[in-house]
A and B are shown apart, each in its own frame.
Chain A
Amino acid sequence: MARSEAAHAGVDDVSGDGEEFDPIGTLTLIGIYFVILVLSWVYIYYVEFLGRDLVVVG
Chain B
Amino acid sequence: MHIHDYEKLWLAVSLLLILSLIGTVTYGAVGPGVAMVADSEPTVDATALDEDERFAEPRVERVGENEYAAYVVAYQFAFQPDPLVVPANSTVTFYVTSRDVIHGFEVVGTNANTMVIPGEVAKLTVETDGPAEYGIVCNEYCGAGHHGMSGTLEVVSQSEYEGQNGGDGE
Which residues B140-161 have CB closer than 8 A to chain A? none
Would you call A5 an interface residue if the criterion is a C-beta within 8 Å of the partner chain's C-beta atoms? no
Docked CA distance A54–B86 (Å): 12
- Residues of A with C-beta under 8 A to B2: 18
Most chain B CB atoms below 10 A, which of A38, A54, A57, A58: A54
Contact indicator A55/B127 (Cβ below 8 Å): yes
User: Given known contacts A18-B2, A23-B6, A34-B13, is B128 in contact with A54 (CB within 8 Å)?
Assistant: yes
Which residues B9-40 have CB closer than 8 A to chain A? 9-10, 13, 17, 20-21, 24, 28, 32-37
Shortest beta-carbon distance from A56 to chain B in Å: 5
Q: Scan A22-41; emit 1 where CB is below 8 A from any B CB, else 0.
A: 11101100100010011001
Which residues B93-127 have CB closer than 8 A to chain A? 93, 107, 109-112, 123-127
Docked CA distance A55–B36 (Å): 11
Contact indicator A30/B10 (Cβ below 8 Å): yes
Chain A residues within 8 Å of chain B by Cβ, number:
22
Contact indicator B126/A54 (Cβ below 8 Å): yes
Would you call A52 an interface residue if the criterion is a C-beta within 8 Å of the partner chain's C-beta atoms? yes
Look across to chain A and name the residue whose beta carbon is closest to the beta carbon of B124: A56
Contact indicator B21/A54 (Cβ below 8 Å): no
Docked CA distance A23–B6 (Å): 8
- Residues of A with C-beta under 8 A to B17: 34, 37-38
Would you call B50 an interface residue if the criterion is a C-beta within 8 Å of the partner chain's C-beta atoms? no
Docked CA distance A10–B10 (Å): 26
User: Given known contacts A27-B6, A37-B17, is B107 in contact with A57 (CB within 8 Å)?
Assistant: no
- Residues of A with C-beta under 8 A to B52: none
Contact indicator A54/B6 (Cβ below 8 Å): no
